Homo-oligomer: A and B are copies of this chain.
């Protein structure tokens, strides 16, 4: 097919051939592409080499494979962006010797409408609740509120959150089957800005993270990060 071998590995040629076919719409979403055996024959390589090309593209999400059926062009992945967080409640304690935190609240509360819909429970149900402010070098970097379903994490209120952050404890006691995130810009209320030592009207990032276990929400963590600290740079 393609000439100009230049010493690129053979599987790389097959990969770019496949990519070209997809980009030029010769093969469309849902189409079945040639089998490993077919590609091996066409490119005069062993099946393992052809397989490597196809497999790497499948790992990348470009192709979908299914035994017995074949390999198909996948839907283009949704446009997404990877956000690197300065921290998300984990490791705060250990990496920085200047770290400290303030525990603002640690109690049982009745879920208001907002929290109830977040946790998928009914309004008024009792839940565990914590608010911690993470501080490094006297600067409040993150305000972290957790709402936890008591039945699933019964010992939540009895932990020492001076030594382990609520999020880290949750990660330790349970392995969520799913995690979701939501990012939003907010102007926090005066209670929050006060706790963080911010000006009254400051734009902040609010990141809400939920831990799921078999269709149930175990916990929701809401972090508030001052907007003036840029949150992340990353390539995708």
Contacts and interface: CB of A to CB of B under 8 A. Distances in A.
A184 B231 contact: yes
A32 interface: no
Given A80-B234, A184-B228, A185-B225, 12 more contacts: A79-B91, A80-B232, A81-B83, A81-B88, A83-B181, A179-B235, A182-B231, A185-B185, A185-B227, A186-B203, A201-B201, A205-B205
Contacts of A204: 185, 203
- Which 4 A/B pairs are nearest by Cβ-Cβ distance? A185-B227, A185-B203, A185-B185, A203-B203
Contact of A187 (B184, B201, B234): B201
Number of identical protomers = 2
B83 A78 contact: no
Interface residues of A, number: 41
Interface of A: 59, 78-85, 87-88, 90-91, 178-187, 201-205, 207, 209, 225-228, 230-236
A234 B85 contact: no
A87 B80 contact: no
Given A79-B85, A83-B80, A88-B79, A185 B186 contact: yes
